[in-house]
């Protein structure tokens, strides 16, 4: 569906020419972006010609996909007004704000939780369809800088009876530590399910529901400063988890909004290590999306504020995330230095250290797994093989997704070392693991491996692996 403007859309035509994208090329890019988000779009060069010459405005997610497609080619965000589509149905700015005021922060977070559920009830991706393609790494700049300047609010005590933002049609709620404990228990359960079954598992999808049904009313209730700090911390953990699960299932725009709100809530909790953990999650997403320099900045922001505060194990993880970004950027020297520092911090960690519960996944095998990925990006297969062997030496019942990712990295290292048999064997095991979880990220790793194997497509072992992976690659993410 589309509606007509007055006259041609000269802005869109000008930006298309600047980007060097043909009408057919834009149609293909928009259709592909839609497909990645579960949308079936059939635009062609004639559709684009109508947008440009007649000023037709496509409806739904299409304007935002057009902006994303052009932005990807130009290497920068493209706002709708720049391409003459500002009159399109606007993508909500929900979740992108990082308010200075605590009350405004509560409104921002609870608005995100409620709109997410509205999207789920609407079906077909709901609100996240309208946000399709709207991820912009630049949206992390203000949250990161404000957190660095002021990582903790002075007071978060709240009296809901005197607040205009009280939950509608609800009795004012007095929040206690027992309420917060339930949220922390929910976060711990969600972490276990996510690691074992992937971010797309139905149990993991209960996290946004928990935020709406359980966390939002508590945030809008009454609490002392002490209880409020704990409440904001627990809700930040859950919100970061919602972002991580969205990231794992390919919903990058949703993940970004959850991460921003998680960072703001961590500031209200006065929990600097937790804020660093959210920034590390942002860094991993930015790096994964191809913004390695920004990934370095976000990881270093986490490190800067946590010097002298975080435990040795926590600092090790932050340096490891920094190494991932350096490696993706191709800076072998910086990546090596960060890895060495991460390993040094990990060696200083001791039993009994007051490590946060959310860091329970991190041990030497996780360090080795990420080190292997760093060396994969740096094209050093010998180092990849060494660290992957260490990463795969531990039991995998609890961290199934991580095991699948490590197997793919192992397969890539074997392939780059000229060991086709070993590469296919590891790839086959990775496909078997990927088939047991719901993780778009794991599927993308497998897809990348198959792409690397294309020069050997005539080999029976490769053909068999491709056939085994077919159900995984055609299944909805």
Close Cβ partners of 122 (under 8 Å, ≥ 6 residues apart):
none
92 burial type by CB count under 10 A (0-12 exposed, 13-18 middle, 19+ buried): middle
What confidence category does residue 202 fall into, taking pLDDT thresholds of 50, 70 and 90? very low
251 and 125, same domain (yes or no): yes
Identify the pLDDT of residue 197: 67
228 and 112, same domain (yes or no): yes
Determine contact, residues 411/449, Cβ cutoff 8 Å. Answer: yes
Identify the pLDDT of residue 3: 55
- Give the range among 118-122, 131-135, 444-448 with minimum mean pLDDT: 118-122
185 and 236, same domain (yes or no): yes
In a domain, 421, yes or no: yes
Report the chain's mean pLDDT, rounded to a whole number: 87
Q: Can you tell me the distance from the alpha carbon of 195 to that of 210, in angstroms, rounded to the nearest whole number?
A: 18
CATH number (domain holding residue 44): 1.10.260
Average pLDDT over residues 200-211: 71
What confidence category does residue 119 fall into, taking pLDDT thresholds of 50, 70 and 90? very low
**Residue 251 belongs to domain spanning:** 102-306+391-474
In a domain, 414, yes or no: yes
In a domain, 251, yes or no: yes
Identify the pLDDT of residue 395: 59
Identify the pLDDT of residue 477: 42
Q: Can you tell me the distance from the alpha carbon of 57 to that of 80, in angstroms, rounded to the nearest whole number?
A: 11
Domain stops at, among 83, 118, 135: 83
In a domain, 320, yes or no: no
CA-atom Rg of the chain in angstroms: 23
36 and 141, same domain (yes or no): no
Q: Specify the higher pLDDT residue, 417 or 102.
A: 102
Question: Is the per-residue pLDDT at 475 higher than 80?
Answer: no
Average pLDDT over residues 344-369: 94
For residue 387 the two structure tokens come to: 């660290």
- Structural domain total, the chain: 2
What confidence category does residue 125 fall into, taking pLDDT thresholds of 50, 70 and 90? very low
8 and 114, same domain (yes or no): no
Question: Is the per-residue pLDDT at 11 higher than 50?
Answer: yes
214 and 293, same domain (yes or no): yes
Angle at which helices 381-391 and 400-416 cross, to 10° = 150
108 and 148, same domain (yes or no): yes
What proportion of the chain, given as a percentage, has pLDDT over 70?
A: 86
List pLDDT tens digits, range 213-272: 999 999 999 999 999 999 999 999 999 999 999 898 888 888 999 999 999 999 999 999
In a domain, 369, yes or no: no
What confidence category does residue 99 fall into, taking pLDDT thresholds of 50, 70 and 90? very high
124 and 216, same domain (yes or no): yes
Distances (CA, A) of 398 to 104, 192, 368: 38, 7, 17
Identify the pLDDT of residue 234: 97
What confidence category does residue 464 fall into, taking pLDDT thresholds of 50, 70 and 90? very high
In a domain, 319, yes or no: no
Question: Is the per-residue pLDDT at 300 higher than 80?
Answer: yes
What confidence category does residue 89 fall into, taking pLDDT thresholds of 50, 70 and 90? low
List pLDDT tens digits, range 359-402: 999 999 999 999 999 999 999 999 999 999 888 876 566 678 88
Q: Hey, which residues does 438 pair with through a beta bridge?
A: none
What proportion of the chain, given as a percentage, has pLDDT over 90?
A: 61
Domain stops at, among 34, 52, 83: 83
Identify the pLDDT of residue 120: 43
266 and 396, same domain (yes or no): yes
63 and 172, same domain (yes or no): no
In a domain, 321, yes or no: no
What confidence category does residue 170 fall into, taking pLDDT thresholds of 50, 70 and 90? low
79 and 171, same domain (yes or no): no
Average pLDDT over residues 125-153: 78
Q: Can you tell me the distance from the alpha carbon of 466 to that of 460, in angstroms, rounded to the nearest whole number?
A: 10
In a domain, 377, yes or no: no
Q: CA-based angle 434:437:443, to the nearest 5?
A: 40
- Give the range among 20-34, 191-205, 404-418 with minimum mean pLDDT: 191-205
Domain stops at, among 83, 112, 145: 83
Distances (CA, A) of 403 to 190, 250, 344, 370: 18, 19, 24, 12
What confidence category does residue 433 fall into, taking pLDDT thresholds of 50, 70 and 90? confident
19 and 161, same domain (yes or no): no
What confidence category does residue 117 fall into, taking pLDDT thresholds of 50, 70 and 90? very low
């Amino acid at each position: 569906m589309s509606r007509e403007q007055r006259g041609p859309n000269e802005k869109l035509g000008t930006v298309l020419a600047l980007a060097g994208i043909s009408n057919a090329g834009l149609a293909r890019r928009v259709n592909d972006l839609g497909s990645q988000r579960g949308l079936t779009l059939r635009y062609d060069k004639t559709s684009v010609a109508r947008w440009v010459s007649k000023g037709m405005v496509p409806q739904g997610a299409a304007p935002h996909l057009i902006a994303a497609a052009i932005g990807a080619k130009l290497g920068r965000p493209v706002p709708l007004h720049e391409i003459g589509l500002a009159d399109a149905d606007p993508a909500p700015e929900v979740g992108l704000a990082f308010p200075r005021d605590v009350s405004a922060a509560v409104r921002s977070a609870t608005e995100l939780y409620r709109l997410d559920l509205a999207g789920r009830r609407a079906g077909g991706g709901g609100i996240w369809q309208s946000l399709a393609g709207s991820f912009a790494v630049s949206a992390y700049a203000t949250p990161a800088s404000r957190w660095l300047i002021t990582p903790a609010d002075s007071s978060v005590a709240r009296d809901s009876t005197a607040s205009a933002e009280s939950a509608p049609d609800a009795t004012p709620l007095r929040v206690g530590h027992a309420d917060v404990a339930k949220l922390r228990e929910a976060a711990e359960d969600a972490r276990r399910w996510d690691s074992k079954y992937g971010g797309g598992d139905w149990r993991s999808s209960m996290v946004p529901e928990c935020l709406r049904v359980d966390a939002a009313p508590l945030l809008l209730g009454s609490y002392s400063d002490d209880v409020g700090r704990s409440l904001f911390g627990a809700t930040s953990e859950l919100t970061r988890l919602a972002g991580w699960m969205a990231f794992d299932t390919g919903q990058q725009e949703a993940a970004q909004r959850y991460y921003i709100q998680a960072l703001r809530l961590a500031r209200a909790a006065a929990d600097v290590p937790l804020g660093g953990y959210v920034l590390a999650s942002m860094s991993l997403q930015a790096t994964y999306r191809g913004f390695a320099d920004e990934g370095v900045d976000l990881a270093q922001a986490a490190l800067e504020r946590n010097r002298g505060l975080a435990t040795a194990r926590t600092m090790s993880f932050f340096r490891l995330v920094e190494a991932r970004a350096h490696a993706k950027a191709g800076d072998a020297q910086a990546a090596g230095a960060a890895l060495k520092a991460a390993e040094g911090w990990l060696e200083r960690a001791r039993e009994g250290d007051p490590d946060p519960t959310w860091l329970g996944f991190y041990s030497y095998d996780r360090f080795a797994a990420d080190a292997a990925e760093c060396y994969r990006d740096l094209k050093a297969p010998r180092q990849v093989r060494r660290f992957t062997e260490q990463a795969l030496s531990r039991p995998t019942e609890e961290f199934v997704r991580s095991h699948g990712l490590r197997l793919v990295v192992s397969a890539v290292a074997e392939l780059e070392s000229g060991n086709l048999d070993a590469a296919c064997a590891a790839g086959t095991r990775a496909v078997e693991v990927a088939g047991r979880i719901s993780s778009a990220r794991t599927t993308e790793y497998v897809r990348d491996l198959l792409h690397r194997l294309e020069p050997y497509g005539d080999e029976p072992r490769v053909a068999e692996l491709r056939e085994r992976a077919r159900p995984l690659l055609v299944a909805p993410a």
